[in-house]
């Protein structure tokens, strides 16, 4: 049924899909190319579990192949500051690969230094760690493994909504402490059935979240996105578009953020917007931390304007030990569902984004066109429609 719907985000129809192929520009196709990968350190877990492909230890499974092709492959987790490996190696790297889970921030300044850089590959989804405007100007392509972890994230969103609405975390903490006081938990526990859910962004992840919420008997699904779904796609997930963000959030019991981070979404959920939420609403953000104003969210949770906030993305990653989102609570001592950035890096997702990264590199090395949906920035221009209206 889905193949017939005009705009359903997903593998069958993509808002990023273009009718033409994007050429793999100016590949050197020669041996001796320098590829730099910024990945997270996996430690003992990565030594014991080879499927943790997105780690420094397991190198996306690329080393043997890249070296057999005669290329140099530098893999590191050192990414911040002037003495980092990223700063040092970017000068002559032709390709930089990074995951959003431990993002190498490819700033305008670094792009200036990167004399040889042709391609930035995101092993995953979400390329906001690259200064995309600077990449456009320098004709550096930005590619990502579109769709590779959207189901993984959608499942995490549904889980986070449930754990907030049902007040799960304080309940479990009570059990670990050895206590048992049902009323302390039940006083702030609800059913998801009958609630109004709104998504900011109804792309691949946002749409999948709505699909997965349907069986819970939610009352209505709202979405705020400058791209409209087709009438059929809306009907399939009981969704209604609301053009004005404040109007939408004022109707929702639960708001979930599923849009990319770009100039138009940075700090989008600020104190002013939060004041339009229904008192005691729940907010889930697995998109990017910086879409929500850190201090405004903490204040809204503290005052009870929000009953809960959950997600896995932070304005800086790794989050500092004293980041207020680690410990913030609602007036009843709960409402915090924060975890490290892992929703899109399940073992299933890692297999997909590692394979997708290799496919992108193979296309580049052999001069084959990239999959259009994977191209965020092509040679000198944005190809995606998801990073703001341009
Ligand atoms: P997508 O490109 O399929 O959908 C994004 C949607 O957001 C599009 O429909 C676009 O029109 C909409 N949008 C853009 N700007 C907007 C705005 N100002 N207001 C409302 N809607 C807006 O992207 P997909 O695959 O659904 O991923 C979305 C984001 O989720 C990624 O960019 C990434 O930041 C995040 N993500 C997080 C992961 C995690 O592990 N936590 C993993 C994968 C993605």
CA distance 263 to 254: 24
How far, in Å, from the CA of 265 to the mean position of ligand 1? 10
pLDDT for the residue numbered 19? 32
Q: How confident is the model at residue 127 (pLDDT cuts 50, 70, 90)?
A: very high
C-beta of 269 in contact with ligand 1 (< 6 A): no
Residue 201 has pLDDT above 50, yes or no: yes
Q: Which of 341, 352, 363, 370 is catalytic?
A: 341
Average pLDDT, the chain: 93
Check if the interface score ipTM surpasses 0.85. yes
Q: Is 152 in the pocket of ligand 1 (CB under 6 A)?
A: no
pLDDT at 5: 34
Nearest CA to 1 out of 232, 213, 193 is that of 232
Does this chain's domain 34-146+346-382 share its CATH topology with 149-338? yes
Total-model pTM: 0.93
- Asked if the model's pLDDT at residue 9 lies above 70, the reply is no
Quickly list H helices, the chain: 43-48, 63-68, 85-89, 108-113, 132-137, 150-165, 168-177, 182-186, 204-213, 231-236, 245-249, 271-274, 294-303, 324-327, 347-366
Kindly state which CATH superfamily the domain 34-146+346-382 is placed in.
Answer: NAD(P)-binding Rossmann-like Domain (3.40.50.720)
CA nearest 162: which of 190, 134, 139?
Answer: 190
Among candidate residues 103, 113, 60, the one with its CA nearest the CA of residue 82: 113
Sketch the domain layout of the chain as residue ranges. Answer: 34-146+346-382, 149-338
* Distance from C-alpha of 54 to C-alpha of 56, rounded to nearest angstrom: 7
Sheet with 375-377, side-by-side order of all strands: 72-76, 34-38, 95-98, 119-122, 141-144, 375-377
H/E stretch holding 54: none
pLDDT of residue 43: 97
Catalytic choice (188, 258, 305, 317) = 317
The 10s digit of each residue's pLDDT in 309-332 is 999 999 999 999 999 999 999 999
Q: Give per-residue pLDDT as tens, 232-290.
A: 999 999 999 999 999 999 999 999 999 999 999 999 999 999 999 999 999 999 999 99
pLDDT at residue 29, rounded to an integer? 54
Q: Give the pLDDT band (50/70/90) at residue 23.
A: very low
C-alpha of residue 261 to centroid of ligand 1, in Å: 8
Say yes or no: CB of residue 160 within 6 Å of ligand 1. Answer: no
Look at residue 390 in the predicted model and tell me its pLDDT. Answer: 83
pLDDT higher than 80, residue 18: no
- Which pair of tokens denotes residue 119? 């391609």
Is position 341 annotated as part of the catalytic site? yes
**Could you identify the residue written with the tokens 């309940």?**
171
* CA distance to 107, 136, 390, per residue, from 381 (Å): 17, 5, 10
Burial 352-361 (b: 16+ CB within 10 A, else e): bbbebbbebb
Q: Whose CA is nearest to atom 8 of ligand 1?
A: 203
Say if ligand 1 is within 6 A of residue 307 CB. no
The pLDDT of residue 30 is 56
What is the reported pLDDT for 8? 41
Decide which of 18 and 239 is more confident: 239
| Cβ atoms of 61 and 53 closer than 8 Å | yes
| Contact 259 CB / ligand 1 (< 6 Å) | yes
Name the band, by pLDDT with cuts 50, 70 and 90, for residue 11.
Answer: very low
**Contact between residue 155 and residue 320 where contact means Cβ atoms under 8 Å apart:** no
The hierarchical CATH code for the domain 149-338 is 3.40.50.720
Is pLDDT of 13 > 60?
A: no
User: For 138-170, what is each residue's pLDDT tens digit?
Assistant: 999 999 999 999 999 999 999 999 999 999 999
Check if the beta carbon of residue 124 is closer than 8 Å to that of residue 145: yes
Taking a C-beta distance cutoff of 8 angstroms, is the pair 94, 33 a contact?
yes
10 Å CB burial of residue 150 (0-12, 13-18, 19+) is buried
User: Atom 1, ligand 1: which residue's CA is nearest?
Assistant: 203
Ligand 1 pocket mutation, candidates 201, 237, 255, 314, criterion most atoms within 8 A of CB: 201
pLDDT attached to residue 190: 98
- pLDDT at position 120 is 98
Tell which one of 205, 312, 342, 388 to mutate to probe ligand 1, the residue whose CB is within 8 A of the most ligand atoms: 205
- How many Å separate Cα 84 from the centre of its chain? 24
Look at residue 306 in the predicted model and tell me its pLDDT. 98
């Amino acid at each position: 049924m889905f193949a017939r719907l005009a705009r359903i985000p997903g593998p069958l129809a993509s808002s990023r899909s273009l009718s033409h192929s994007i050429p793999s520009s100016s590949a050197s196709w020669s041996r001796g190319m320098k590829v730099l990968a910024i990945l997270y350190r996996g430690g003992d877990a990565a030594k014991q579990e080879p499927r943790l492909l997105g780690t420094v230890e397991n190198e996306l499974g690329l080393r043997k192949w890249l070296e057999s092709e005669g290329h140099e492959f530098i893999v590191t987790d050192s990414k911040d500051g002037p003495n980092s490996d990223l700063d040092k190696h970017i000068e002559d790297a032709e390709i930089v690969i990074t995951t959003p889970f431990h993002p190498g921030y490819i700033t305008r300044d670094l792009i200036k230094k990167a004399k040889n850089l042709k391609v930035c590959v995101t092993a995953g989804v979400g390329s906001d760690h690259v200064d995309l405007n600077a990449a456009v100007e320098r004709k550096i392509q930005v590619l990502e493994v579109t769709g590779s972890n959207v189901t993984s994230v959608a499942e995490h969103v549904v889980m986070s909504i449930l754990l907030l609405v049902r007040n799960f975390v304080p309940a479990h903490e009570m059990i670990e402490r050895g206590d048992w006081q049902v009323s302390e938990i039940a006083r702030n526990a609800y059913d998801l059935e009958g609630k109004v859910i709104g998504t900011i962004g109804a792309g691949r992840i946002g749409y999948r979240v709505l699909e997965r919420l349907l069986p819970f008997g939610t009352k209505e699904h709202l979405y705020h996105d400058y791209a409209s779904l087709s009438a059929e796609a809306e009907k399939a997930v009981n969704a209604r578009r609301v053009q004005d963000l404040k109007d939408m959030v004022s109707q929702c019991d639960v708001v979930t953020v599923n849009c990319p981070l770009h100039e138009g979404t940075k700090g989008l959920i600020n104190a002013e917007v939060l004041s339009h939420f229904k008192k005691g609403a729940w907010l889930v953000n697995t998109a990017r931390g910086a879409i929500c104003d850190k201090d405004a969210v903490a204040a809204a949770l503290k005052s009870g304007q929000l009953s809960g906030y959950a997600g896995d993305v932070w304005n800086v990653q790794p989050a500092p030990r004293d980041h207020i989102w680690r410990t913030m609570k609602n007036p009843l001592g709960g409402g915090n569902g924060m975890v490290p950035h892992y929703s899109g890096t399940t073992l299933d997702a890692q297999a997909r984004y590692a394979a997708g990264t290799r496919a992108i590199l193979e296309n580049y090395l052999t001069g084959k066109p990239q999959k259009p949906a994977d191209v965020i920035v092509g040679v000198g221009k944005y190809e995606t429609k998801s990073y703001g209206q341009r």
